[in-house]
Amino acid sequence: MIKKSKMGLTIKLSIVIVLLLLLVSASISCNAFSTRSHFPDGFIFGAATSAYQIEGAYLEDGNGLSNWDVFSGTNGSTTEGGNGYIADDDYHRFLEDIEILHSLGVDAYRFSISWTRVLPKGKFGEVNPLGILFYQKIIDNLLLRGIKPFVTIHHFDYPQELEDRYGGWLSPLMQEDFVYFAETCFRNFGDRIKYWTTINEPNIVAMMAYERGLFPPGHCSLPFGNCSAGNSDIEPLVAVHNMMLAHGKAVKLYRERFKAKQGGIIGIVVNVLMYEPLTDDEIDKAAAERSLAFDAAWVLDPVVFGEYPPEMRRIHGNQLPNFTTDEKMIMKDSVDFIGINHYATLYAKDCIYSSCKCDPLDSSCVPGGDRSIRGFASSVSEREGIPIGEPTGIFRFFVVPRGMKEAVDYVKRRYHNKPMFITENGYSSPNNPVEINEIKDDQKRVEYHKAYLSYLLQAIRNGADVRGYFIWSLMDNFEWNSGYKVKFGLYYVDYRTLARIPRSSSVWYKDFLSNNAKAKNEILLKNKDGINLQYQVIRPEEARKMYSEA
């Protein structure tokens, strides 16, 4: 009896110890992602914005008329008639915004260059010297504070002149205009820029501007929308093809004429919407793979392999444009890294069988899901009435942290672990608070970033070559067709005064970044061949002293 009692006590103690170890392990796991020290040395943390969304200064100092100026000025195009005419007035407040960045302790700042501010009429006009000066001041002041400029050349906005003359991205002429714009940027800013991306989210431009008509030029056709012009089945393919070639030609120019002297790296940014099969059926698993190919791989296959995804070619056939032999040479390996914007995960549902009614119990697909441009797949946000995650301020954007790891793993597998940066990831509150305390206390945004960073770190520890993470966004801004109703910022912007008001998330990010901080001019990233991909910041002696004392 005594032996049995001792044995029982031993077993109970063992169980208790195991449970305690599990609790400690869970605690360590939760806390393991609370500081930057758990990320690799040299990993870049930053914040992101884009020119049209924050700058304002509409038509000021030689700035030209943009496609978004015209589109947002059309009744009903944006929520509550919002536009970027004033936006956050960063054009006049950029020094204040750079000080905010510096106070956060970021390593880098991702921003874009307004095409209309540099070339108001594209190739059909002169370079605007005041536009050049504006971006030179931004770059110099960032470097003065030890912040690396991470520059996007084109982020949705372009001169309306190019739309009026030849139809923007629907014309091959846009390729040469973009290359001219890129060359102007390389020539004027490239001596100080070591991270370039050519075009932001060509796949989103295709969907929103030429399939659904929600971005300029507002083209679409049924069943995606009832626009006055457009063909939703064809125009997205044409627009992406011209963007792909514009990217490839700009990268070729940079590598041939600027890279040796300027020493930068260049990539492209794609929105990676993650898809999971709605059911365990093989047809839905195949639909999820097709959805990924018709979204992220549509852009990334050409810049890595020089070809469009075979999944798209099988469905579109000759409707999908072809690259010539010379163009394939230009496109293949035309990125040094891949920029990933990740916000959402959805379920994918097969529409091949649904559309032909092979399964009478299967519900009909979302309108357009039974079309080739969607890969005969629908994306849905619920399964058996249960949402895939907690809702946010944007329709069908749900909080699904595992999607970050799944998205990175997908890019890692398909593109042989090409270096990656998370160029955007952010949370928009589903509410529109009016009380200042509610505006400032955004704990859900804090928890969002903690969770997504946790899954990102898992992907990195599993071997994914991810080298940086940028929060979208530094501050609330003009969120395209959503106007100012959707808010992503670490800083709330009071649009009555344009004051930047820190949210709880900005305090969390500052604390997160202050852990294990290193002198920013001592960190070097290297690729697999040992080639330096970052640069040593050279600052004036006073600035170096000021920074070291801080």
Residue 292 and residue 446 in contact, taking contact as beta carbons nearer than 8 Å: no
Between CA 112 and CA 156 the distance in angstroms is 10
Q: Which of 161, 211, 424, 479 is catalytic?
A: 424
**Dihedral of alpha carbons 26, 30, 35, 40, sign:** positive
Residue 312 and residue 375 in contact, taking contact as beta carbons nearer than 8 Å: yes
CA atoms within 13 A on the CB side of 380: 23
Three-state helix/strand/coil letters over 358-413? CCCCCCCCCCCCCCHHHCCEEEECEECCEECCEECCCCCCEECCHHHHHHHHHHHH
Q: Which residue has the tokens 């500052």?
A: 510
Q: Which of 55, 163, 201, 235 is catalytic?
A: 201
Residue 276 designated active-site: no
Beta-bridge partner residues of 502: 491
Tokens linked to 6: 């001792």
Residue 137 and residue 98 in contact, taking contact as beta carbons nearer than 8 Å: no
DSSP string, 145-197: TT-EEEEEEESS--BHHHHHHH-GGGSTHHHHHHHHHHHHHHHHHTTT--EEE
Q: Which of 299, 293, 270 is nearest to 377 (CA)?
A: 293
Under DSSP, the state recorded for 65 is P
Between CA 13 and CA 231 the distance in angstroms is 70
Query: In Å, how far are 6, 194, 201, 420, 445 from 156, measured between CA atoms?
Result: 72, 22, 8, 21, 26
**Dihedral of alpha carbons 97, 103, 104, 105, sign:** positive
Q: Which residue has the tokens 């001592």?
A: 522
Residue 201 designated active-site: yes
Between CA 288 and CA 282 the distance in angstroms is 10
Residue 245 and residue 330 in contact, taking contact as beta carbons nearer than 8 Å: yes
**What kind and span of H or E run contains 193?**
none
Tokens linked to 25: 């392990």
Q: Which residue has the tokens 């600035």?
A: 543
Phi, psi of 17 (to 5 degrees): -60, -45
Which residues, 6+ apart, have CB-to-CB distance to 48 below 8 Å? Answer: 109, 110, 111, 150, 423, 424, 470, 471, 472, 473, 474
Q: Which residues are catalytic?
A: 201, 424
